[in-house]
Amino acid sequence: MALPLPLLLLLLPPAAAARGAPGAYVWPWPQKISVSPNRSCALHPGLFHFEYSAASAVQPGCAVLDQAFVRYPGIIFGPGPWLSPDRPGLKQTMKNSLQVLVAVPECGPFPEMNSVENYTLILNDHDFILKAHTVWGALRGLETFSQLIWRSDEGMFSVNWTEIVDFPRFPHRGLLLDTSRHYLPLEVILETLDVMAYNKFNVFHWHIVDDPSFPYESMTFPELNRKGSYNPISHIYTIGDVKTVIEYARLRGIRVIAEFDTPGHTLSWGKGVPGLLTPCYAGATPSGTYGPINPILNKTYEFMASFFQEISSVFPDFYLHLGGDEVDFTCWQSNPDIQAFMKEKGFDNYEKLESFYIQKLLNIVSSYGKGYIVWQEVFDNNVKLRPDTVVHVWRETQPSPYAFEMDTITKAGYRVLLSAPWYLNRISYGEDWQEIYRVEPLNFEGSPEQKALVIGGEACMWGEYVDETNLTPRLWPRAGAVAERLWSSQSVTDVGLAYDRLTHFRCELLRRGVQAQPLNVGYCEHEYFQH
């Protein structure tokens, strides 16, 4: 049902008139939105609830929506106290429920790359309904609804008459957290998943292990975390922790893609698996130090087969991230056994040796029915990749600008993710979110068919200088700039209007208990307080 006039049409891009209109601060910006400036409905926290439409193909018993219906009233209204719903002089129409209608009779079990996230939201005197194709789209619509509610100076909750038709521009909208360089407690990861949902991110890229530590508790190889973690009691993720993260993410429509990066970035692996890493040499004798995984031994691949069989069973997403970046060849170059192997195989450079290893690993992972994402060096080194491989672009300028890399990868027919300009661990004085916001993922030479292979991107928060003390303010609201770029229409580029909305959204994050840093001088009605 179309909204009655008069309307303030906030189509794409957002009109300047949106700045003062209640409900005009949604983040990320919807594909189409219409807001009435002078007609609204009242909501009372004690009476309002979410319910399934009688016509919905999904009904009570669907945990994804059942739990969202319980979660969102607290997000919207806070702890109170609230005004009485029968206060004198209340002229607005009181709405006590939002009807939710889901078209497809499925409740998960897990979101996937191709999950549909579209929704339609209609709010007026006649209809108060959220329609979605899937439960994942319904979650996105509930988040948008939560951001439309505003509280008057008198303490009344209201929502303006609104009509929204919305869907994401890209299917993969991710955030990477590094839990090796600094261990991030489970509660911090769960809070991050909450804020990801507020921004409509849908992929948690868990860079769980690296050189400094191995905090993943392996069931098959328990010595990995016992000897490779910072502390095998306090600084590990148990199998229970991992399942908690996966389920918490699922209930928010977020996929969990684990990364176990090899053959480089693996010094912590060697502590628990003797013989896995390459011994480095100083002249003719071992130096006592170790380099990347040893690619010439059969037992290396026996280990990888067992390890990734476990990983494939623990992480339900179709994709695993297998890394493959920044392999330091110095140790391989020093090792006489490696040199002899290369001579036997006819390898004239170390990229070919790396490709030999990666090829075997990809075959192992494929045998378990998994797809894989790899960093761009794997493609650059001409490893034979499956057609469904996703190549992850992270280098900004070396050996070539990322736009050229995007063109090259898509020209070869592979799908691609962009992260190169979105390394949020890099900070500078001032409003660096604006440069993040101005990035256009499709700004490279290429045909429409090539650009259709860009499936999205990820904001990355590497952990050299980040732990639980500064993760949240460094992430938010800066990561929101990436979220909007990946969700909203390509035409939504006005930095001034984005500043107004992101500033408002930052204040909303504070109200929700998220320690998001300020964008500039100013204040919020609800300043941050520690829960």
- List the catalytic residues: 326
What does the angle CA 254 – CA 259 – CA 261 come to, to the nearest 5 degrees? 165
Q: Any bridge partners for residue 460, and if so which? A: 176, 423
- Taking the CA of residue 125 as centre, how many other CA atoms within 13 Å lie in the half-sphere pointing to its CB? 8
- Taking the CA of residue 490 as centre, how many other CA atoms within 13 Å lie in the half-sphere pointing to its CB? 7
Closest CA to 405 of 345, 446, 366: 446
Both tokens of 271, joined, read 């502590």
State the amino acid at position 165 in one-letter form. Answer: V
Phi-psi region of 59 (alpha: psi -120 to 50; beta: other; left: phi over 0): beta
Q: From CA 498, how far away is CA 488, in angstroms rounded? A: 12
Q: From CA 111, how far away is CA 251, in angstroms rounded? A: 9
Per DSSP, the residues of 494-513 read: -HHHHHHHHHHHHHHHHHTT
Closest CA to 261 of 178, 383, 349: 178
**Beta carbons of 237 and 179 less than 8 angstroms apart:** yes
